[in-house]
Amino acid sequence: MSTHSVDVNPTECVKSVDASCSVSEIDEYDFSRFPERPRNLNMDRDRQRSFDERSLVDLPCFSPPVSSRADNISRIDHFDSLPFSPAHRSGFDTPRSFGHEGSPMMAEAWDALRRTLVYFRGKPVGTIAALDSSEEKLNYDQVFVRDFVPSALAFLMNGEPEIVKNFLLKTLRLQSWEKKIDRFQLAEGVMPASFKVLHDPVRNTETLMADFGESAIGRVAPIDSGFWWIILLRAYTKSTGDTSLADKPECQKGMRLILSLCLSEGFDTFPTLLCADGCCMIDRRMGVYGYPIEIQALFFMALRCALVLLKQDAEGKEFVERIVKRLHALSYHMRSYFWLDLKQLNDIYRYKTEEYSHTAVNKFNVIPDSLPEWIFDFMPTHGGYFIGNVGPSKMDFRWFCLGNCIAILASLATPEQSNAIMDLIESRWEELVGEMPLKVCYPAIESHEWRIVTGCDPKNTRWSYHNGGSWPVLLWLLTAACIKTGRPHIAKRAIELIELRLARDSWPEYYDGKVGRYIGKQARKQQTWSIAGYLVSRMMLEDPSHLGMIALEEDKQMRPPLRRSASWTF
């Protein structure tokens, strides 16, 4: 591990907030109560809106699809007309009132979140992964890029953007380090998985230490970090209206470096990104190598965010064109080949194999015998989802939460597919939500398969940790997806479940068991993203206009000309 010292930018101190109501007191949403047009608060924000409104059709390399369905008016169109986040209220130092008295759990969560703040030379730069002193620290005393996302959203929603700005600038500096694993030098654009502040009490100095995968268990570089970084930069810009951060030459360069990594040409025949196992939230061997949905959905979202943030100057223009082309190919590929519903399942069940040439229906030569038993019962009549992975003769039929929620938020899923994903969650509530939201993936792998796929990993035994464990952090993604699809009642049900146990159990990292009834075997307590995820869910449900920070409208130009199956046509 290498250590370097870096300067920081000034920031303000964070402030505490008030308690709020319990979720059961929150009324159902009436989307009609939001104004037709966003409030125009200032010039900067107007400019930033026009950023977000840049559509693929405005770009030279785009040719529109054959058909567009003007009749398809979905509820997701509403959120863009919601007002900007109230984080812009003038009195930042006034504790936010949630309009109701007494939710000790919210107050406790805010206190707990503030205790996790990590300072570098006097400025907050992130939040530690977990504050549990009873377990071995390993790397839970570090600031993880992916773990900081819900913390960042909570601070943005609460009108405290400075820590987010510091984090973005600090991680950008880390990106510029020379990174090596043994004698092999990593690409320039790689963002760290995590970093840590080292204090030297004798010399009274502070230095940063970052991990790009060279210390991580399994030695895998985090592909998701760079994507989350871009997504967070857009969330910051959207929430504050401050375009000056994204416009900085170093931010533009940071984005270009990340993009050159994932847009580079190689031997690929698919527009999806080829990944090693363990390169994302599931950071251990779990059979997610190849083209995992989590990375493909984050890739899509990061590309869309970069499209609105990149300047169209001499250097940026080329990237914008490459992004547009890739988005088209990627959305087509994902919507066609990763999508599974009853109709599609039936088609695969009847697939012929060994087809050659362009006329092949079973393009990847998937053998119907590889369909797992559980999928036939799991698939509801109405509903569908993006499966875990698609590659040559490979379909991983497992349902992964993060990828499906991000697909909804980024509008990688069409409105019909988004609705179908929510239908599936509703009809398979017991399996996917159970007693503790939310399964990281479903189902667990067991016995011989577990031995082969995980390499006998004792942490990932069936229904534990990454192997079918339940992760409270995923609640914020579900809540955002629920609001975007106009189904806040689903999120409300999930939050009610979390409120029964999460604080009482001291905010565990994950739960074990088929319905998530048991605190995870090796789960950390006081896990920051469990705390922040809860806060973000509650704040979003309270004020759905926050959704705009983390969701992108459907780009109607990317609508598919074809209807593949029943769940696309409500």
| Least distance to ligand GLC, CB of residue 195, Å | 12
Q: How far apart are CA 142 and CA 136, in angstroms?
A: 13
| Least distance to ligand GLC, CB of residue 533, Å | 12
Cβ-contact 199, 206 below 8 angstroms: yes
Q: CB within 8 A of 364, min separation 6: which ones?
A: 337, 390, 391, 392, 393, 394, 395
The single residue listed with the structure tokens 């519903």 is: 341
Kindly tell me which of 144 and 299 has the beta carbon lying closer to ligand GLC: 144
Q: How would you class 99 by CB atoms within 10 Å of its CB: exposed for 0-12, middle for 13-18, buried for 19 or more? A: exposed
Kindly tell me which of 271 and 278 has the beta carbon lying closer to ligand GLC: 278
SS3 state at 522: coil
At 539, which helix (H) or strand (E)?
helix 528-542
Q: For CA atoms 531, 399, 513, 132, give the dihedral sign.
A: negative
Kindly tell me which of 146 and 196 has the beta carbon lying closer to ligand GLC: 146
Kindly tell me which of 82 and 402 has the beta carbon lying closer to ligand GLC: 402
Q: How would you class 458 by CB atoms within 10 Å of its CB: exposed for 0-12, middle for 13-18, buried for 19 or more? A: exposed
Cβ-contact 233, 168 below 8 angstroms: yes
**Distance in angstroms between the alpha carbons of the first and the last residue of the chain:** 53
Cβ-contact 412, 406 below 8 angstroms: yes
Kindly tell me which of 278 and 384 has the beta carbon lying closer to ligand GLC: 278
| Least distance to ligand GLC, CB of residue 550, Å | 18
Summarize as ranges the residues that interact with ligand GLC (CB under 6 A).
129, 144, 146-147, 281, 283
| Least distance to ligand GLC, CB of residue 118, Å | 14
| Least distance to ligand GLC, CB of residue 384, Å | 26
Where helices occur in 474-516 by DSSP H, the ranges are: 475-484, 488-501
The single residue listed with the structure tokens 């924000």 is: 45
Kindly tell me which of 385 and 471 has the beta carbon lying closer to ligand GLC: 471
Helix axis angle for 145-157 and 162-175, nearest 10°, is 160
| Least distance to ligand GLC, CB of residue 144, Å | 4
Kindly tell me which of 424 and 475 has the beta carbon lying closer to ligand GLC: 475
| Least distance to ligand GLC, CB of residue 429, Å | 25
Q: How many CB atoms lie within 10 A of CB 154?
A: 26
Kindly tell me which of 283 and 416 has the beta carbon lying closer to ligand GLC: 283
* Sheet with 194-200: strands ordered across: 3-4, 205-211, 194-200, 143-144
| Least distance to ligand GLC, CB of residue 17, Å | 24
Kindly tell me which of 164 and 324 has the beta carbon lying closer to ligand GLC: 164
Kindly tell me which of 99 and 218 has the beta carbon lying closer to ligand GLC: 218
| Least distance to ligand GLC, CB of residue 459, Å | 9
Kindly tell me which of 218 and 368 has the beta carbon lying closer to ligand GLC: 218
CA distances from 81 to 2, 11, 35 (A): 47, 31, 7
Q: How far apart are CA 171 and CA 472, in angstroms?
A: 26
The single residue listed with the structure tokens 């955002």 is: 480
Q: Where are the beta strands (DSSP E) in 422-553?
A: 441-442, 511-512, 518-519
Max CA separation in the chain (angstroms) = 71
| Least distance to ligand GLC, CB of residue 83, Å | 33
| Least distance to ligand GLC, CB of residue 477, Å | 13
Q: Where are the beta strands (DSSP E) in 8-153?
A: 117-120, 123-127, 143-144
Q: How far apart are CA 416 and CA 384, in angstroms?
A: 10
Query: To 5 degrees, how large is the angle CA 415–CA 420–CA 425?
Result: 130
| Least distance to ligand GLC, CB of residue 130, Å | 6
Nearest to 20 by CA among 147, 161, 157, 115: 157
SS3 state at 379: coil
Kindly tell me which of 256 and 524 has the beta carbon lying closer to ligand GLC: 524
| Least distance to ligand GLC, CB of residue 452, Å | 21
| Least distance to ligand GLC, CB of residue 147, Å | 5
Cβ-contact 478, 508 below 8 angstroms: no
Kindly tell me which of 128 and 420 has the beta carbon lying closer to ligand GLC: 128
